[in-house]
Structure 1
Amino acid sequence: MDPPNRTPNGTPTRRSSAMPIVTIQQGPRDTELKRDLVKRVTDAFVDAYKIPAETVQVWIHEVPADSWGAAGTLTADK
């Protein structure tokens, strides 16, 4: 068995070859908001799974308002 890793707060955890990948689909946002979101999502996984932050990947896929809709209406038309 692999030796235990330690999370940033020193909690032991087992190594895993599977890293969490979080995909967020959203409309365009400013870089500072995305920076904060990535930190918060990463921190949530670190806290919930007791894994190192380095193993968490957050992918943000921004979709322009003219490329998606809701309730039968193109978002750009709202």
Structure 2
Amino acid sequence: MIAARANRVWVQAPGSDGLFPAGETGRESREQKMPIVTIQQGPRGVEQKRELVEKVTAAFVEALAVPAESVYVWIQEYQPENWGAAGKLTADR
């Protein structure tokens, strides 16, 4: 899990019980940090998703100083009839 609060990026490391400032996991520093990023969005093409995963991974590598191999990106896609904004179902816009 990742959240932005008070101009800081907070992450939840696998197996931890809470959110920690980016770069800290609440575990001993000798353990590998493994950020997991979940993106919820409407349907996109596979090329767009490839680029998104590439750029999100690069951002985490830069921000957290972790190897790219440790960054996991999950994409959850939702059809317009399955989400809404501003009180309206997206399919009805």
What TM-score do you get using the length of structure 1 for normalisation?
Answer: 0.77
In 1, the alpha carbon distance for the partners of 2:54 and 2:30 equals 22
Higher relative contact order (CA 8 A, sep 6+): 1
Say whether residues 1:61 and 2:39 are aligned partners.
Answer: no
Q: CA deviation at 1:15?
A: 5.1
| CA-atom RMSD in angstroms | 1.3
How many residues of Structure 1 are paired with residues of Structure 2 in the alignment?
Answer: 65
Which residues of structure 2 form unaligned runs of 5+? Answer: 1-28
In 2, the alpha carbon distance for the partners of 1:75 and 1:37 equals 22
1:29 to 44, 51, 62: 44
Q: Find the structure with the greater CA-based Rg.
A: 1
What percent of counterpart residues are identical? 62
What TM-score do you get using the length of structure 2 for normalisation?
Answer: 0.65
Alignment correspondent of 1:73: 88
